[in-house]
C-alpha cells in the first residue's frame, strides 16, 4: 500500500457514474416495479452504499477509508431503456474516495443486472467513470459527461 501517513487530513469528495441498458421487456418490468426479485431503486442504492463501505475488501491495496457520506442516485431513462447510477462519496481523510465512488456505481449496476437478468441476459453495463474528485494534493478533477442531476 502507498504510505499516506504524512498526508494531511482534508475534506475529499468523489462522484462517479455508470449506465446499464436493457431490452424493452426488462426495462418495462424495471419501470413498473414488477421484477420477481424486487424494486431496483432501493436495492441498487443499498448495494452501492455497502460496496463503498467495503471497497478496501474488494480492491487490493486500497486503503480502508472512514466515510462521512455516501449517496447513490438511481434514475430511469425510458427512451434509452437504461438505468443511470450516480454515486457521491465524502470523507475527511488523508486519501481520496474515487475508488469508493466507482465501487458504489459498479455494485449498484451489478445489482440491477442481477434483478433483471431473467428478462435480459444481454444487458450492457457501460460508461462507468469518475465525474468529479476534489480535495488532497492533486486538487480538483472534472471528468466529461457530468450529469446535471446530482446524487442525493
- The full set of domain ranges for the chain reads 10-142
pLDDT score, position 145? 59
Q: Which of 6, 57, 68, 114 is catalytic?
A: 114
The answer to whether the Cα torsion of 57, 54, 127, 143 is positive or negative is: negative
Q: Residue 106: which residues within 8 A CB-CB, separation 6 or more? A: 18, 51, 125, 128
Measured CA to CA, the distance from residue 18 to residue 51 in angstroms comes to 15
Split the chain (152 residues) into runs of 10 and give each run's mean pLDDT: 88 98 98 96 98 97 96 98 98 96 98 98 98 93 64 37
pLDDT score, position 152? 35
In CATH terms, the superfamily for domain 10-142 is Molybdopterin cofactor biosynthesis C (MoaC) domain (3.30.70.640)
Measured CA to CA, the distance from residue 136 to residue 148 in angstroms comes to 25
Angle ∠(136,147,106) on CA atoms, nearest 5: 70
Instruction: Write phi, then psi, for 74 (nearest 5 degrees).
Output: -115, 125
pLDDT score, position 116? 98
What's the whole-model pTM score? Answer: 0.92
User: Can you read off the three cell numbers belonging to residue 38?
Assistant: 424486487
The answer to whether 114 is a known catalytic residue is yes
Amino acid at each position: 500500500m502507498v504510505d499516506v501517513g504524512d498526508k494531511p487530513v482534508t475534506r475529499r469528495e468523489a462522484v462517479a457514474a455508470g449506465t446499464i441498458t436493457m431490452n424493452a421487456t426488462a426495462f418495462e418490468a424495471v419501470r413498473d416495479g414488477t421484477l420477481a426479485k424486487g424494486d431496483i431503486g432501493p436495492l441498487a442504492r443499498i448495494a452501492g452504499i455497502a460496496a463503498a463501505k467495503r471497497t478496501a475488501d474488494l480492491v487490493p491495496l486500497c486503503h480502508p477509508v472512514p466515510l462521512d457520506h455516501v449517496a447513490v442516485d438511481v434514475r430511469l431513462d425510458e427512451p434509452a431503456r437504461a438505468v443511470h447510477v450516480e454515486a457521491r462519496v465524502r470523507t475527511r481523510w488523508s486519501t481520496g474516495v474515487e475508488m469508493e465512488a466507482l465501487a458504489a456505481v459498479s455494485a449498484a449496476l451489478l445489482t440491477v443486472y442481477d434483478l433483471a437478468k431473467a428478462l435480459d441476459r444481454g444487458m450492457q453495463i457501460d460508461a462507468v467513470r469518475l465525474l468529479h474528485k476534489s480535495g488532497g494534493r492533486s486538487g480538483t478533477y472534472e471528468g466529461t459527461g457530468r450529469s446535471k442531476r446530482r446524487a442525493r
